[in-house]
């Protein structure tokens, strides 16, 4: 499984170009965005990451963020996008409903 690193730098990222890169990288496997260059995260940074994650999800590809500063981590958690910081292998499997049947339960 190949992981592509997409660098996210600067205060005003080019969202359409980043999403296009995510779509290209999605063909080869999970996408990881290196946010180490983001020293002063803004809502524009969060918007870019959210749109990149949606582009990857549209193609059925996992998307994660690495190298996030504590400020970016806090901002992502604040807006409900903390899940982007988790590594793909650390994600929990989808929960399934398990029903138990007792021997004396009548059929429906």
Kindly give the confidence (pLDDT) of every residue in the chain, 108 residues in length, as a single tens digit, with 9 standing for 90 and above: 345 566 676 666 788 888 898 988 888 888 888 888 888 888 888 999 999 999 999 989 899 998 889 999 999 999 999 988 875 444 455 555 556 667 776 766
pTM summary value: 0.71
Give the span between the Cα atoms of 69 and 73, in whole angstroms. 6
Structure tokens that stand for 26 in this block: 């999605």
CA nearest to 59, candidates 29, 81, 86, 89: 29
Give the span between the Cα atoms of 90 and 61, in whole angstroms. 15
Query: Which pLDDT score is estimated for 100?
Result: 64
Query: Which pLDDT score is estimated for 34?
Result: 86
């Amino acid at each position: 499984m190949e992981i592509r690193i997409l660098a996210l730098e600067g205060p005003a990222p080019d969202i359409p170009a980043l999403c296009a890169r995510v779509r290209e990288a999605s063909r080869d496997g999970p996408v990881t965005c290196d946010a180490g260059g983001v020293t002063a995260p803004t809502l524009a940074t969060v918007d870019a990451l959210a749109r990149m994650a949606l582009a990857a999800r549209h193609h059925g590809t996992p998307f994660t963020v690495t190298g996030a500063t504590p400020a970016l981590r806090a901002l992502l958690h604040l807006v409900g996008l903390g899940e982007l910081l988790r590594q793909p292998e650390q994600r929990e499997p989808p929960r399934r409903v398990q029903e138990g049947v007792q021997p004396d339960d009548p059929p429906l």
